Amino acid sequence: MSLIEPIEPAAALEVRNLVTELRLRRGTLRPVDGVSFSVAKGQTLGIVGESGSGKSMTCLSLLRLLPRPGGRIAGGEVVVAGTDLTKLSDRELARDWRGRRISMVTQDPMSSLNPVYTIGDQVGAPLRYHRIARTRSDARARAAEALGKVRIPSPEARLHDYPHQFSGGMRQRVVSAMAIACAPEVMIADEPTSSLDVTIQVKMMDLYRQIQEETGVAIVLITHDMGVAASICDRIAVMYAGRIVEQGPAKELFRNPAHPYTQSLLSAIPKLGEKRKRLYALGGQPPSLTAMPKGCRFAPRCALADAKCHASYPGETNLGAGHRTNCWRVAEGGAPHAA
């Protein structure tokens, strides 16, 4: 019986073979090297992986917020609403797209919020910049509406407060309000729960689900926490050393992980009720950007890697239902590595 692929909904964001380069004195590095994925309206894609895998750099590349001088998009496409953002000038991107149709929630709200401006001024700033609000009073009214959407009590009264008067969880909500104020089609959330305790993390994920249900925004969630990804994401993309090594529907990927790296990440999660003398830990370190392996980039840490794995990078294997991976063992019909 032939395997029928499900019909994918129209993509709000489509990334095709994205390559980002950093030109340094010691050479040219590629922290993002041929990354492709898509996110549909009203869906959440989680990009997971270890620190240094290229997750945050991928998302900064989508908005062209790269280090200067030296950072540049070297290839690929970033398509939103039929427009390739890589072809736009910096002025066009800032004026019509960044913050307006594709926005970002940063990892640390205290680095995003200016301590000398009120919350009302800061949430209203993108509304004024993109001319959604024509007057200061209109901007403050819309800012209060945005704060209400992220469940901040008495939003009108809090417009006059400063960032230091908010708790960490509330500051994260303010940054989220800034991101949704202009009703974007795509919202990027870069480790939005990393500085929060577990109970506040759960509330933030519930909040993002509610915002998505109300607005239909497509969300790209960057996280190293597989539990957070499982709680909200429709699809998961696993990144390693600048490339996506596996992606697919969240339930399918957690149930049947195919790539050895994905297996290792899931094995490192403690399981409730399971007794172990020692928790699993993946040995070794990710490769340096200055000395990438010739073959599979995970091969030096993979217990089942053979000569072919070290010699050349594997092509993509389609496992059906939108589940894809890059692994020689899977391509040749072998069982995936069980950590």
Q: Are 184 and 102 in contact (CB under 8 A)?
A: yes
For residue 283, what pLDDT band results from cuts at 50, 70 and 90?
confident
Give the Cα separation of 328 and 317 in Å (integer): 9
Of 1-10, 64-73, 218-227, 294-303, the least confident = 1-10
Would you put residue 260 in left (φ > 0), alpha (ψ -120 to 50) or beta? alpha
How far is Cα 68 from Cα 172, in angstroms, rounded to an integer? 27
Q: How confident is the model at residue 2 (pLDDT cuts 50, 70, 90)?
A: very low
**Residues 48-72: tens digit of each pLDDT:** 999 889 999 999 999 999 988 889 9
pLDDT band at 159 (very low <50, low <70, confident <90, very high): very high
Cis upstream peptide for 69 (omega within 30°): yes
pLDDT at 235: 96
How many CA atoms, within 13 angstroms, populate the side-chain half-sphere of residue 332?
9
Q: HSE on the CB side for 26, CA within 13 Å? A: 6
The amino acid occupying position 307 is A
Query: What span, in angstroms and rounded, lies between the C-alpha atoms of 334 and 315?
Result: 15
Strands, E assignment, the chain: 11-24, 27-40, 44-48, 71-80, 83-84, 102-105, 186-190, 218-223, 235-240, 243-249, 317-320, 323-325
**Separation CA 249–CA 235 (nearest Å):** 4
- Helix-, strand-, coil-residue percentages of the chain, each rounded to 5: 35, 25, 40
Give the integer Cα–Cα distance in Å for 104 and 179.
Answer: 6
Indicate the burial class of 148 (C-beta count within 10 angstroms; 0-12, 13-18, 19 or more): middle
What structural domains and CATH numbers belong to the chain?
11-101+182-331 (3.40.50.300), 102-181 (no CATH)
What residues pair up with 11 in beta bridges, in sequence order?
40
* Paired sense of beta strands 186-190 and 102-105, if any: parallel
Q: What's residue 338's pLDDT?
A: 44
Q: In this structure, are strands 243-249 and 83-84 parallel, antiparallel, or unpaired?
A: unpaired
CB 276 within 8 A of CB 332: no
The proportion of the chain whose per-residue pLDDT surpasses 70, expressed as a percent, equals 95
User: pLDDT tens, 204-245?
Assistant: 888 899 999 989 999 999 988 888 888 899 999 999 999 999
Tally the residues of the chain.
339
Residue 308 pLDDT > 80 = yes
